[in-house]
Amino acid sequence: MITLDHLTKRYGATTAVDDLTLQIQPGRVTGFLGPNGAGKSTTMRMILGLDRPTSGTALIDGRPYVALRRPLREVGALLDANAVHPGRQLRTHLVAMARSNSIPVARVDEVLERVGLAGVARRRAGNLSLGMSQRLGIAGVLLGDPQVMLFDEPVNGLDPDGVMWIRKLLRSLAAEGRTVLVSSHLMSEMQQTADHLIVMGRGQLLADDSMASFVAGHGSLEEAYFRLTAGSVEYTGRSEARGDRAGTEVF
Partner 1 sequence: MLSSFLAVVSSEWTKLWSVRSTWWCLIGAVALMTLYSVPLGFDAAEPNPALSHADQLLHVEEVATAGLLFTQFALIALALLTVTSEYASGSIRTTLQCEPRRGRVLVAKLVVVEVVALVSGGLLAFLGAGLGYLTAGGYGVFDLSAVAEVAGRVSVYMGAVVALAVGLAVGLRSTAGALVVAFLALFLLPMVLIMSGMDLMTEVSYYLPGTAGTEYLGIGIATLFGLGDDLPYDGTGGLGLLAGWAVVTLLAGYLVFRRRDA
| Residues engaged in binding partner 1 (CB under 8 A) | 45, 48-52, 65-66, 68-72, 75, 77, 79-80, 82-89, 92-93, 95-97, 99-102, 140
First to last CA, the chain: 54
Q: Which of 172, 183, 166 is nearest to 47 (CA)?
A: 183
Measured from the CB atom, the residue of 152 and 189 that comes closer to partner 1 is: 152
Report how far residue 231's alpha carbon sits from residue 164's, in angstroms, rounded to the nearest whole number. 32
Nearer to partner 1, 52 or 245 (CB): 52
> 209 by DSSP, 3-state: which?
strand
Instruction: Give min distance, CB of 206 to partner 1, in A.
Output: 25
Residue 141's CB: how many other CB atoms inside 10 A? 24
Spatial CB neighbours of 85, under 8 Å, sequence gap ≥ 6: 93, 125
Nearest CA to 181 among 42, 69, 76, 85?
76
Q: Which is nearer to partner 1, 127 or 188 (CB)?
A: 127
Taking the complex as a whole, the smallest distance from the CB of residue 74 to partner 1 amounts, in Å, to 11
**Nearest distance in Å: CB 30, partner 1:** 20
CB atoms within 10 A of CB 217: 9
The answer for residues whose C-beta is within 8 angstroms of residue 26's C-beta and 6 or more apart is 1, 147, 148, 177, 178, 179
Nearer to partner 1, 87 or 247 (CB): 87
Pick the closer one to partner 1 by CB: 72 or 142. Answer: 72
Smallest separation, CB 117 to partner 1 (Å)? 16
Q: How far is the CB of 102 from partner 1 (least distance, A)?
A: 5
For residue 9, the minimal CB distance to partner 1 (Å) is 9
The H or E element that residue 17 is part of is strand 14-24
Nearer to partner 1, 150 or 224 (CB): 150
